Amino acid sequence: MQKQVIALMLANKRKNELRPLTQNISKSLMPYGGKYRIIDFPLSNCMHSGIDTVGVITQYPYWELMAHIGKGEAWDMYHKSGGITILKGAGPGYDIRHTVRYIEQFCPQYVLILSGDNIYKMDYTPMLHLHRQKNADVTLSAVQVPWDIASQFRIVYADSESNLYKIELNPKFSENNLASMGVYIFKWDILKTYLLEQPKGLFSPYCIEQNILYPMLHNGQKACVYRFKGYWADITSIQSFWKANMDLLKREWALDMHDKDWRIYTGSSELFVHYASPTARIKRSIVGEGCIIHGKITDSILFPGVTVEKGAVIEDSIVMSGCRIGKNSVLRNVCCAKIQPWKSIVP
C-alpha cells in the first residue's frame, strides 16, 4: 500500500524535571486542558492534514499509551491500511531496521517526523508544499519564541529563501529567536540511508538531530526552514506545564479550543456531564466532564472526575483527574494529581 507521506511520532521523552507527573507515563501522555493528553495535538494535526498513517515510537511501559490510542478511531485512523502503530524506540531487542521495515511497507516519498509532546495546532500541508517546491532533502519547522527563553531551544537561522544555514543548540546569546519545533519532513530514500548507517542509534529526538540532521548538513544536503506562525508550547518543566495549561485561561486567543474546524480529538470517556451544585461559584475556569462542584473555583483548570466539596476554595490551580478536594480546603497555586503514592507539587 503506497502512501505519499507517513508520520513518525516520537513519544518516548521523559523529562526528569517533570518526574512526579511522568512517573509512569511518557511526556506525551501528560494531561492538558481539562480533557486532553499532549499527544492528542500532533495526532489531531495529522488527521486534519490528511495523514492517516502514524507510527508512534515509545519505549516506556506502554500499556497506558496503547489504552489511550486504542484502535486509533478517535482520530479516524482505524482503517485497513495504515492507521496508528506503536513501535519500539529503544531497549533490548530494539533495532532501527524494524522501524525502517515498518516505513518501507508504505513506500512513502516523504516521512514527517513529529515530536509527541508539543501543544500546537498546525496544518502540515503548507510545510510539505515548501519542501516539495524547494526540492529539499529535509525541511524543519520553526517558530518564534520569546527572546528571554530562546536559549532553551535549538535556534535555527535561515536566509530569505528559507534555506537553513546554521543551527545552534541552547545558545547563550542568540541573534535569532526562531526555535526548531521538532517537526521535520525528510525525503524517505535519504532518511533511510542515514538511518541504516546508525543501526544502534536510539530513535529519539536527540538521535534525529545528532545522527541524521547534522551529518546531512555536513554533507551539504539541501535543508529548508518552514516558519510556523501560531501558538506552540513546549513542556520542559512543571512551570512550563503549568503555564501552557494556564494559557488556555489567560491567553485564550492564542489557542482556541472551541474552534470547530480544527478540533482536537481524544480517547472518549464515559463520564457524566459536570454538575455545579447550588453552592458552587465558578469563574474564569475550565471544568472537565464528571466533576461535582460544591465549592468556589476561580482561574483554575479541573480535569474530569474531580469532586470539590462544600466550602473548598480553588484558586489559580490545576486539579487532575479523579482528585477529591475535601471540605473547606483551600488550594492556591497548586497542581494536584493522583499519583501513587499521593503527591502534590507546588510550582
- Please say whether the dihedral angle defined by the alpha carbons of residues 264, 267, 273 and 275, taken in this order, is positive or negative: negative
Asked if 273 is part of the footprint of other proteins (rule: CB under 8 A), the reply reads yes
- Output the CA–CA distances (angstroms, integers) from residue 305 to 214, 275, 335, in the order listed: 46, 10, 16
Residues 297/281, Cβ–Cβ less than 8 Å: yes
CB of residue 77 to other proteins, shortest distance in Å: 14
Asked if 229 is part of the footprint of other proteins (rule: CB under 8 A), the reply reads no
Q: Which stretch binds other proteins (CB under 8 A): 45-53, 236-244, 262-270, 335-343?
A: 262-270
| Distance of alpha carbon 269 from alpha carbon 257, whole angstroms | 18
CB of residue 258 to other proteins, shortest distance in Å: 6
Beta carbon nearer to other proteins, 87 or 308: 308
Residue 99's CB is within 10 A of a number of other CB atoms, namely 18
Asked if 19 is part of the footprint of other proteins (rule: CB under 8 A), the reply reads no
Q: Which stretch binds other proteins (CB under 8 A): 16-24, 112-120, 124-132, 267-275?
A: 267-275
Cell numbers linked to 156: 535555527
Fill in the amino acid letter for 71: K
Q: Which stretch binds other proteins (CB under 8 A): 58-66, 149-157, 258-266, 329-337?
A: 258-266
Asked if 258 is part of the footprint of other proteins (rule: CB under 8 A), the reply reads yes
CB of residue 301 to other proteins, shortest distance in Å: 8
Residues 6 or more apart whose Cβ sits within 8 Å of residue 14: 22, 26, 27, 60
The single-letter DSSP state of residue 324 is: E
Report the first-to-last Cα separation within the chain, whole angstroms.
49
Asked if 286 is part of the footprint of other proteins (rule: CB under 8 A), the reply reads yes
Asked if 206 is part of the footprint of other proteins (rule: CB under 8 A), the reply reads no
Asked if 276 is part of the footprint of other proteins (rule: CB under 8 A), the reply reads yes
Per CB under 8 A, the list member of 281, 327, 332, 343 interacting with other proteins is 281
Q: Which stretch binds other proteins (CB under 8 A): 127-135, 180-188, 274-282, 313-321?
A: 274-282
| Distance of alpha carbon 132 from alpha carbon 77, whole angstroms | 25
Per CB under 8 A, the list member of 86, 292, 313, 339 interacting with other proteins is 292
For the segment 58-87, give every residue that binds other proteins (CB under 8 A): 73-74
Beta carbon nearer to other proteins, 66 or 169: 66
CB of residue 287 to other proteins, shortest distance in Å: 5
Asked if 268 is part of the footprint of other proteins (rule: CB under 8 A), the reply reads yes
Q: Contacts for 216-223 with beta carbons within 8 Å, 24 or more apart?
A: 216/137, 216/138, 216/190, 217/164, 217/167, 221/137, 221/138, 221/190, 222/134, 222/135, 222/136, 222/137, 222/138, 222/163, 223/136, 223/137, 223/138, 223/139, 223/140, 223/163, 223/164
Cell numbers linked to 210: 545528532
Beta carbon nearer to other proteins, 101 or 263: 263
Residues 252/267, Cβ–Cβ less than 8 Å: no
User: Where does this chain bind other proteins (CB under 8 A)?
Assistant: 33-35, 73-74, 252, 257-258, 263-266, 268, 270-289, 292, 297
